[in-house]
Amino acid sequence: MPSPSSRQRVVVVTGASSGVGRACARAFGRRGDRVALLARNTEALEQAAAEIEKAGGEALLCDVDMADAEAVELAAAQVEEKWGRIDVWVNNAMATVFAPVTGTTADEFRRVTEATYLGYVHGTLAALRRMLPADRGAIVQVGSALAYRSIPLQSAYCAAKAAIRAFSDALRTELLHDRSRVRVSQVHLPAVNTPQSLRQRNKMHRQQQPVPPLFSPPSIAEAIVSAAERTPREVLLGFPTLRAVWAQRLIPRLLDRYVARHGWDSQFVDKPNDQSGDILFETLPGDPGAHGPYTDRERGPDMLMRLQSRPPLNPTNALTALARMVGRRSSS
């Protein structure tokens, strides 16, 4: 249960029905926050709401497709009408197609762009309409290492994530120019074991997996909750993300060749793709939950993620720690 002294925030989480969004909704609920859940899968949203209320938070269900700007605005108005404000908006909803560029249709590229990139734009605009007049609030854009380093078979998703990064950087400069206290944070994720592997459109013959190592959705959610509180400019979450981004900056041509050689088969498991449907254009029935099919291989936070989720060391604490270190050395 949350401590009585903690302030109950109003939080919106998009893509809250499964995966990272579902884990984030739970994490905010454990803090005692009021959490609005935006997604298309009503059945899963009902289960997510029950989890939040059991943890001590409050929940509001909003059945919405993030590609529909009007529907997103109506959902934000519903949150504002119920709870009076929006303190934190977490953009996380996404859709993708797992296929080569030449095997992806124009309609599929359009849908991924609308649901993923434009979904973040629609969510951000809805949040800003509430936050700018109040001159406060935090927008957290859940990004990916693939926003910096594209890989084969995921061109539509990589392009959408890169667009989100560019959009968020431009928005941040505008907020700084206007001396606004609204903050924009980006949290770029490593590979996570979510239901995406089985529910997103896969046009290949084998079952897809994120490129290992795979992290657990709860470990990712804790970092996102921390970012909502501390509002860092950007977090390259975990060693795999940091390594990918810096390799792209320092040795992009060598990385192209490495990814061409090793980035294809690493995205498959030795199982046939037996998808009977996907969630690209319409949702699927059932509650997929937060975790994907590879729970036996997912891991918790690495050392870097643990450090990134902690509050920064303030000058007073840093001097205290340094004095203790000097004292121990002088007495030895």
> Across residues 181-210, what is the average pLDDT?
98
pLDDT reading at 323 higher than 80: no
Write out pLDDT tens, residues 260-282. Answer: 999 999 999 999 999 999 999 99
> Across residues 178-195, what is the average pLDDT?
98
Query: Are the C-beta atoms of residues 22 and 217 closer than 8 Å to each other?
Result: yes
Give the DSSP H or E segment for 306.
helix 303-308
Amino acid at 157: Y
Partnered with residue 331 across adjacent β-strands are none
Marked catalytic residue, from 117, 120, 148, 157: 157
Contact residues for 321 (Cβ-Cβ < 8 A; gap 6+): 313
Is 120 annotated as catalytic? no
Select from 3.30.2270.10, 1.10.580.10, 3.10.20.90, 3.40.50.720 the CATH code of 10-331: 3.40.50.720
Residue 318: predicted pLDDT: 46
Q: Is 230 exposed, middle or buried (0-12, 13-18, 19+ CB in 10 A)?
A: middle
Q: What are φ and ψ of residue 70, in 5° steps?
A: -65, -40
- How much is the mean pLDDT over the chain? 93
Using CA atoms, how far apart are residues 30 and 52, in angstroms rounded to an integer? 7
What b/e readout covers 103-120, taking b as 16+ CB neighbours within 10 angstroms? ebeeebbebbbbbbbbbb
DSSP 146-163: GGTS--TTBHHHHHHHHH
Of 41, 25, 139, nearest to 90 by C-alpha is 139
Write out pLDDT tens, residues 99-120. Answer: 999 999 999 999 999 999 999 9
The conformation of residue 145, written as its DSSP 8-state character, comes to G
**Widest distance between CA atoms in the chain:** 71
pTM: 0.92
- DSSP 3-state of 190: coil
pLDDT reading at 253 higher than 90: yes
Of 67, 40, 102, nearest to 278 by C-alpha is 40
Write out pLDDT tens, residues 4-37. Answer: 334 789 999 999 999 999 999 999 999 999 999 9
